Amino acid sequence: MSLFLFLFLFLFLFLLFFSITLSQTPPRGLLINCGAQSPAQFDDLTWFPDSDFVSSGSPITLNSPVLVPTLQTLRSFPRQVKKHCYYVPVYRGAKYLVRTTYFYGGVNGVDHPLPPVFDQILDGTLWSVVNTTRDYANGNSTFYEGVFLAQGKIMNFCIGSNPYTDSDPFISALEFLILEDSLYNTTDFTSFGLALFARNSFGYSGPPIRYPDDQFDRIWGPFGQSSSAEANTDNVSVFGFWNLPPKKIFETQIGSEQLESLELRWPTEPLPSSKYYIALYFADNTVGSRIFNISVNGITYYHNLIVIPSGIAVFASQWPLSGPTTITLTPVASSTRGPLINAGEVFYLLPLTGRTSTRDVIALEKVKESLRNPPLDWNGDPCMPQQYSWTGITCSEGPRIRVVTLNLTSMDLSGSLTPSIANMTALTNIWLGNNSLTGQIPDLSSLKLLKTLHLEDNQFSGEVPSSLGNISSLQEVFLQNNNLTGRIPESLIGKPGLDIRTSGNNFLSPPPS
């Protein structure tokens, strides 16, 4: 990303972050129109082109008409490279709604009439499989939405080619929108993300409800016709909702005036076995009382809910569900009216799989900068998800993820080896043999766990650092066939248990036998 654009975006986001009246301002955050060539304004929202956030892929403009302008362009990625990543500036500690949008448009040609299936990854956690086939067949785009905590100043979003990816993956739009602290605040976002499964306004049949009705531009989809008259909202002044739902969702309902149970099959798709965050919303100002019990798949969810004009919501943070889901509202004996429901949200809890140690990430970025042709998949988190770890990287397991091996043998690399590699203090093996690396060998004495150092068949010059002899764990030092000069350090000659190979250099004394 250019320095000018980064500073501009930072100032832009800074001013939005401290906006006083949320309801009078657009959602705070960053909207990225993938494949676009210039900024654009759609529905009072500013969209930025994606070229300063991603270094791979090709921008493409679709020739066919689309439903919304942001679908006219996309970025396509070669599937031969397993991971492609966006780097997005964020506020550390802020809670973000992240939304990805996909519209295929047949960009992979007549041999691939169906969209490819691939993975999406956020900050090292495999978020979901992206399968837009059914929506595309109906002429629709597909979106995925999640809620995540920014644990640093950059969040990376990645597209990954999985075993089912038969043509180049793509993306149409990427959004990072800041949420209020109160939203979904019963979730431990240091351990989990929330991945949206369904969000609906019940009894509503119009276009999706979003900004400006929803100040955070969440998408509330329509869900069927009302089974009773449209709710009278003249005296419904909803307030006090920690999730801040838009007032518009309370204009319709699914309900009954009869004192009978109401069964709602929702979501319409079977739920994968997991734990779910469920929030249900109710409001009513009609004369009489609506009091009922709520059960989910026959399990009591809430007792004696009293629906009031100011509105009420009930939620569960980790409700286990699997398969078809039925919500049943059963009136109690003291109720004078039947049950109703206005809206609902269901997220599945996405366990965060951890991220590579920050010091290792920073060091590897320096290594990447010092190489003229680093591996193409060196993007995003180096270690996570494990199936998308960087080429040549082996990592530890457990709560603190460290890089333990760097193996780029015979990768046709050029450039130099940055001294920052010495900050990767968990390294046990460095294998960079049979490349075209130049410059001096850096001081590696901080790598107290290093066992093997293979730098043979390169073009390293200068002297061998004597500090290598201070690494007690060293078992192999292969330096043959370089342009090294000076003398072999005494600290390495005759070191017990060390296999050192130095032939093919310009040393002043012969190598040890």
| Strands 299-306, 291-296: pairing kind | antiparallel
Letter string b/e over residues 430-446, b meaning 16 or more CB atoms within 10 A of that residue's CB: bbbbbbebbeebbebee
d(CA 509, CA 513): 12
Residue of higher predicted confidence among 251 and 12:
251
| pLDDT of 257 | 85
| pLDDT of 390 | 97
Is 199 a residue whose pLDDT tops 90? yes
Is 373 a residue whose pLDDT tops 70? yes
Is 492 a residue whose pLDDT tops 80? yes
Is 226 a residue whose pLDDT tops 80? no
How does DSSP classify residue 52?
Answer: T
Compute the radius of gyration of the chain from its Cα atoms: 29
d(CA 455, CA 407): 11
pLDDT band at 6 (very low <50, low <70, confident <90, very high): very low
Query: 145, 179, 213: which is the final residue of a domain?
Result: 179
| pLDDT of 151 | 94
pLDDT band at 170 (very low <50, low <70, confident <90, very high): very high
Tell me whether the omega of the peptide bond preceding residue 267 falls within 30 degrees of 0, making it cis. Answer: yes
Is 217 a residue whose pLDDT tops 80? yes
Residue 277 structure tokens: 């965050």
* pLDDT, the chain, mean: 91
330 shares its domain with 394: no
Of 403, 408, 438, 439, which is closest to residue 423 (Cα–Cα)? Answer: 403
pLDDT band at 399 (very low <50, low <70, confident <90, very high): confident
454 shares its domain with 482: yes
Ranking 175-184, 236-245, 415-424, 458-467 by mean pLDDT, the lowest is: 236-245
49 and 79 in contact (C-beta within 8 Å)? no
The answer to the question of residue 84 being in a domain is yes
pLDDT band at 44 (very low <50, low <70, confident <90, very high): confident
144 shares its domain with 213: no
| pLDDT of 3 | 40
The answer to the question of residue 46 being in a domain is yes
pLDDT in tens, 114-144: 999 999 999 999 999 999 999 999 999 999 9
Residue 40 structure tokens: 């654009």
Is 334 a residue whose pLDDT tops 90? yes
The answer to the question of residue 24 being in a domain is no
CB contact set of 267 (below 8 Å; sequence gap of 6+): 197, 198, 200, 325, 346
d(CA 105, CA 136): 8
Query: 351, 378, 404: which is the final residue of a domain?
Result: 351
Number of domains within the chain: 3
Please identify which residue in the block is written with the tokens 């009922």.
292
Is 513 a residue whose pLDDT tops 50? no
pLDDT in tens, 255-289: 988 899 999 999 999 999 999 999 999 999 888 89
The answer to the question of residue 14 being in a domain is no
Residue of higher predicted confidence among 225 and 248:
248
128 shares its domain with 171: yes
How does DSSP classify residue 436?
Answer: E
What is the rounded average pLDDT of the residues 355-371? Answer: 97
Is 90 a residue whose pLDDT tops 80? yes
The answer to the question of residue 6 being in a domain is no
| pLDDT of 459 | 98
161 shares its domain with 277: no
Is 356 a residue whose pLDDT tops 90? yes
Is 193 a residue whose pLDDT tops 60? yes
| pLDDT of 4 | 38
Q: Which structural domain, as residue segments, surrounds residue 246?
A: 199-351
Residue 370 phi, psi dihedral angles, 5° rounding: -80, -15
| pLDDT of 235 | 52
87 shares its domain with 148: yes
343 shares its domain with 362: no
What is the rounded average pLDDT of the residues 494-510? Answer: 88
pLDDT band at 494 (very low <50, low <70, confident <90, very high): confident
Query: 325, 351, 377: which is the final residue of a domain?
Result: 351
> Which residues pair with residue 125 across a beta bridge?
122
Residue 17 phi, psi dihedral angles, 5° rounding: -60, -35
Instruction: Give the CATH number of the domain where residue 415 resides.
Output: 3.80.10.10
What is the rounded average pLDDT of the residues 336-346? Answer: 96
pTM: 0.90
The answer to the question of residue 1 being in a domain is no
Percent of the chain with pLDDT over 90: 85
The answer to the question of residue 412 being in a domain is yes
347 shares its domain with 364: no
393 shares its domain with 333: no
Dump strand ranges (E) for 23-62.
29-33, 40-42, 45-49, 58-61
| pLDDT of 241 | 86
Please identify which residue in the block is written with the tokens 């629906």.
307
| pLDDT of 240 | 72
Q: Write the DSSP string, 113-141.
A: -SPP-EEEEETTEEEEEE--HHHHHTT--
**Could you tell me the CA-to-CA distances from 279 to 302, 304, 397 in Å, in that order?**
12, 16, 35
How does DSSP classify residue 28?
Answer: S
40 shares its domain with 138: yes
Q: Angle at Cα 384 formed by Cα 443 and Cα 159, nearest 5°?
A: 120
232 and 286 in contact (C-beta within 8 Å)? yes
| pLDDT of 64 | 86
Residue 320 structure tokens: 């286990």
Letter string b/e over residues 194-213, b meaning 16 or more CB atoms within 10 A of that residue's CB: bbbbbbbbbbbeeebbbbbb
Instruction: Give the CATH number of the domain where residue 277 resides.
Output: 2.60.120
| pLDDT of 20 | 34
| pLDDT of 384 | 97
> Which residues pair with residue 347 across a beta bridge?
196, 277
431 shares its domain with 466: yes
Instruction: Give the CATH number of the domain where residue 140 resides.
Output: 2.60.120.430
| pLDDT of 279 | 97
d(CA 73, CA 348): 30
pLDDT in tens, 50-67: 999 999 999 999 998 888
| pLDDT of 32 | 98
59 shares its domain with 143: yes
pLDDT band at 13 (very low <50, low <70, confident <90, very high): very low
How does DSSP classify residue 252?
Answer: -
| pLDDT of 14 | 39
| Strands 312-323, 271-282: pairing kind | antiparallel
**Could you tell me the CA-to-CA distances from 260 to 329, 334, 340 in Å, in that order?**
9, 13, 11
Is 490 a residue whose pLDDT tops 50? yes
pLDDT in tens, 407-463: 999 999 999 999 999 999 999 999 999 999 999 999 999 999 999 999 999 999 999
Return the number of other C-beta atoms located less than 10 Å from residue 78's C-beta: 13
The answer to the question of residue 52 being in a domain is yes
